[in-house]
Chain A
Amino acid sequence: MSNSSSSSNELFGYVAEFSSASDLYHAAEKIRDAGFRRWDVHTPFPVHGMDHAMGLGKSWLSAIVLGGGATGSILALFLQFFTQVTLYPTVVQDKPTNLFTIPAFFPVTFELTILLSAFATVFGLLALIMLPRWNHPLFNSPLFAKFSNDGFILVIEARDPKFKREKTRELLTEIGAGKIEEVNY
C-alpha cells in the first residue's frame, strides 16, 4: 500500500486516512493518549471538540493579540497627548488641554487598538503556523490532497520522539486507519 512520489528517501511521516469525522476524532484521542507531540489532523470542515480530542492546549495567539491591542492603545494615547497636550496645547471647541480632554482621543485610540490587534492576529497566526513557506513535504502525498474534498486525514511526523517506523504503522492500523501512506521529504 505504501508508495511515495518524492525525490529523497528521508521519511517525513505517515499520512493515514479515516472514514469519518467521528473515527478521526476517536483516533485523535488515542494518538493523544499514546503521547505523540508532532502530529496533526486535516478535515474538509471544522470538527467541534477536535482541539480537546487532540489534547491541544490554549493557543498563544490571544496573548499576541492582547500585546498588539495594548500597544495600539498606548501608542495612540501617547501620540495624541504628546502632540496636542504637552508639545503644543491645542484648544478645540473650548475643550481643556489636560487629562479631561481624553474623550476626544478615544476614537483614534479605539481605531489603532483594533488595527494593531488585527495585525497581531494575522501576522501572529502566520508566525505561529510558520507561514509563508515555499513547499511542504505533505504536498508529496496524493492521499493528503483528499482532505480538501472528502478525506479525514491524520498525519504523524517522523521527528516525533515516539515515532517508530513499524510500531507507529501498527498503531495506526489498530485505531482504524484505512489507507496509510509514507511521505518522504
Chain B
Amino acid sequence: MAGLKDADDYRDGERFKIPALLQLVCLAVGVGGTLLFFLIRILKPEAAGAMGYSWLFAVVFFLSLAVGGLFWTLLHHASNSGWGTVIRRLMENLANVIPVMMIVALPLLFSFVGFRDKLWEWFPKREAALVEATKNAEEEKDAYIASRTAEVEKARAAVDAAKKDLADVASPSPGHRAHLERRISDLEKKSAKLEKEDLSPEGAKQTLVDKNFLESAALLFNKRGYLNESFWWIRQIFYVVALGGIAFILRRWSVKLDQDGDPKWFRWMRRWSCGFLPFFATAWTFLVFDWLMALDYTWFSTMWGVYLFAGAALNSMGFLIILLTLLRKAGYLKNVVTMEHYHLMGKLMHAFVIFWAYIAFSQFFLIWYANITEETKFYLTRNTDFWNVYTITFLVIGHFFIPFVVLLVRQVKKLPLVVSCVAGWNLLMHALDIYWIIIPERGPSLTADSGHIAMTIPGAWIYDILAFVAVGGLFAFALLRILASASLFPCRDPRLDESLNVVN
C-alpha cells in the first residue's frame, strides 16, 4: 500500500536533546521548592502535621502517573500488542521515574521528619496502647501469677478430693463408680487446662499485655498482624523493589534491544511481563492501602486498590498524550507517530474514564447502600462543609461526565492539540481526586484531640501548592534525564514495522 513505512529506515532511533533552560528550570523549581518546603518544616514545627499531608498528596499524584506508565508497559508486552511500539519507550521512561518518586517519598516514612505519626495515626496510637499495656502488665503481673497459681492448686486439690471420694466408697455400684470416674476425668481436664498456661514471669506478662492491648485498642489489637512497624517496613521495601525493579528491568532490556537487535530481549520482555503483572498489582494495591487507606486505620474498602489503579492508568495515558504532543512540537517523533496513535491512545483514555467512574461509583454505592457506620465514615467526611460541592463538581461532573461526553467524538481523539487539552483536564481532575482522598483527613485528624474538630487547617493549602510544585519539578527533571538517555522509541523492535503503519 502506498506510503508504507519501512522499519529499517528508523533503526537508528531518535535521540532527545534536553533543552538546557528547561532542565535548569525544572531542577531549580524541584530542588528550590523542596528546600523551601523543608525549611518551613524546620522553622515552623507546629505545621509539621499539615505539611505531611501536603507532601503525601504531591508524591502520590506524581507516583501514580509513573505507576500508570509501568502498567501500560506491562500490558503492552503481556497482551503482545503491536500498535504502541513507537510510544512504548515513553511508557518505559515514565515508569522509570518510580525510583525517584520513592526517594522523594522517604520523608514520609521516617518518623523523625515528623510526618509519619501525623499521617498514619495507628503508629502513635499503637505505640501508646502498647506502652500502657506493658506498664500495666508489669504492675499486675505478680498478683496475676499468684491468683492463677492458686487456681491451679485449687483445681489439683479438687482432683485429689474426687479420687479420695472414690477410694472411700467400699463397694460402689457400677453406676456410682462410673459417675465418680467421670467426675475425676472432668476435673483432671480442667486442671490440665489451667496448668497449660505459661505462668513464668515473661509468659504472664505477655498474656496481660495482649489482654490490656485488646481492651484499650481492640481494632489495633486485631489488626496487629498487619499494622505493626516491622511488617510495615518489609512492605515498603517490597513496593520499591517490585515497582521500581520491574520498571528498571523492562526498560533495560528494551534499551539493550536497541543496541544489539537481539530478539531474545523482546521475548524476555513479553514472557516476563505476564509474571510481573501480579507483583505490580499487589505492590500498588498494598501501597495505597498503607499510604492512603491507613490515613484512617478504622476505615476500609476492598475496592481501594483498583480505584487508585484506575486513576493511575487513566491519567498516565493522558500524561503520555501530552508528553507526545510536546515532543512532537519540539520536532521529535514527527514521522514515527501518526494520528492513528493519537486515536488509539484517546480511545484507551476514554475507556479508562469510564472504568474509573465505574469503580468510583461502585465503591460509593456499596457503602452508601449498606449504610454501616464504620464504612460510611469516609464519605461522611467528604460530604461535610464544602467537600460536598467539591465532590459533585470535580469528581462526578469534572472527572467523569465532561471527559466522557467530549471523548465520545471521534475527531476529538484524532486532533493532537484537542486530545491533549482533554488529557490536561483529566490530569487536573486527577490531582483534585488525590487531593480529595488525602486532604479531608487532615483537619479532623490533627484537631481530634483539641476538643473542637475542624474540617480544614487554615493556610495549609499553601503547603499543598508548594509541595506539588516542588515534587513536580523533581518529577519533570527526572523524566527529562531519562528521556534523553536512550532513543525515543524502540528502534530495533520486531514489532516496529507494525506500529509505524498501524491503522485502526
A56 to B121, CA, bound (A): 62
> Which A residues, 39 to 61, have Cβ-Cβ distances below 8 Å to chain B?
48-49, 52-53, 58
Q: 1/0 per position for A16-51, CB-CB distance to B under 8 A? A: 000000100110010000000000000000001100
Q: Known contacts being A26-B2, A48-B504, A66-B408, is A103 close to B368, with CB within 8 Å? A: yes
Interchain Cβ contacts within 8 Å, total number: 28
Contacts of B371 in A (CB 8 A): 93-94
Q: Known contacts being A48-B503, A103-B364, A103-B368, is A25 close to B1, with CB within 8 Å? A: yes
Contacts of A107 in B (CB 8 A): 365
> Which A residues, 162 to 185, have Cβ-Cβ distances below 8 Å to chain B?
none
Q: Nearest CB to that of A104 among chain B residues?
A: B369
Main secondary structure of the interface of A (DSSP, over half): helix
Q: 1/0 per position for A82-107, CB-CB distance to B under 8 A? A: 00000000000111000000011011
Q: Is B125 an interface residue (CB 8 A)?
A: no
- Interface size class of chain A, counting residues whose CB lies under 8 Å from the partner chain: 10 to 19
Q: Known contacts being A58-B410, A93-B371, A94-B371, is A103 close to B1, with CB within 8 Å? A: no
Q: Nearest CB to that of B410 among chain A residues?
A: A58
Contacts of A53 in B (CB 8 A): 1
A93 to B369, CA, bound (A): 7
Q: Is B299 an interface residue (CB 8 A)?
A: no
Could you tell me how many residues of chain B have their Cβ less than 8 Å away from some Cβ of chain A? 13
Q: 1/0 per position for A135-169, CB-CB distance to B under 8 A? A: 00000000000000000000000000000000000
A52 to B414, CA, bound (A): 15
Contacts of B408 in A (CB 8 A): 66
Least Cβ distance of B383 to chain A in Å?
A: 11
Q: Known contacts being A22-B1, A66-B408, is A106 close to B361, with CB within 8 Å? A: yes
Q: Nearest CB to that of A23 among chain B residues?
A: B1
Contacts of A104 in B (CB 8 A): 369
* Cβ contact within 8 Å between B1 and A49: yes
Q: 1/0 per position for B385-414, CB-CB distance to A under 8 A? A: 000000000000000000000001010000
Least Cβ distance of B338 to chain A in Å?
A: 11
A52 to B340, CA, bound (A): 12
> Which B residues, 317 to 332, have Cβ-Cβ distances below 8 Å to chain A?
none
* Cβ contact within 8 Å between B369 and A26: no
Contacts of A52 in B (CB 8 A): 503
A93 to B367, CA, bound (A): 12
Q: Nearest CB to that of B370 among chain A residues?
A: A93
Q: Nearest CB to that of A49 among chain B residues?
A: B503
Contacts of A93 in B (CB 8 A): 369, 371
Most buried by A among B1, B364, B365: B1
Least Cβ distance of A152 to chain B in Å?
A: 13
Contacts of A103 in B (CB 8 A): 361, 364-365, 368-369
A139 to B109, CA, bound (A): 73
Q: 1/0 per position for B351-384, CB-CB distance to A under 8 A? A: 0000000000100110011010000000000000
Q: 1/0 per position for B231-249, CB-CB distance to A under 8 A? A: 0000000000000000000
Contacts of A58 in B (CB 8 A): 410
Q: Nearest CB to that of A52 among chain B residues?
A: B503
Contacts of A106 in B (CB 8 A): 361, 365
Least Cβ distance of A61 to chain B in Å?
A: 12
A29 to B3, CA, bound (A): 13
Q: Which 7 A-B pairs have the closest CB atoms?
A: A48-B503, A49-B503, A25-B1, A103-B365, A22-B1, A103-B368, A93-B371
Write 5 A-B pairs (CB below 8 A) sorted by A numbering: A62-B410, A93-B369, A93-B371, A103-B369, A104-B369
A25-B1, A94-B371, A107-B365 known; 15 other A-B pairs, CB under 8 Å?
Answer: A22-B1, A26-B1, A26-B2, A29-B2, A48-B503, A49-B503, A58-B410, A62-B410, A93-B371, A95-B369, A103-B361, A103-B368, A104-B369, A106-B361, A106-B365
A-binding residues in B (CB < 8 A)? 1-2, 361, 364-365, 368-369, 371, 408, 410, 502-504
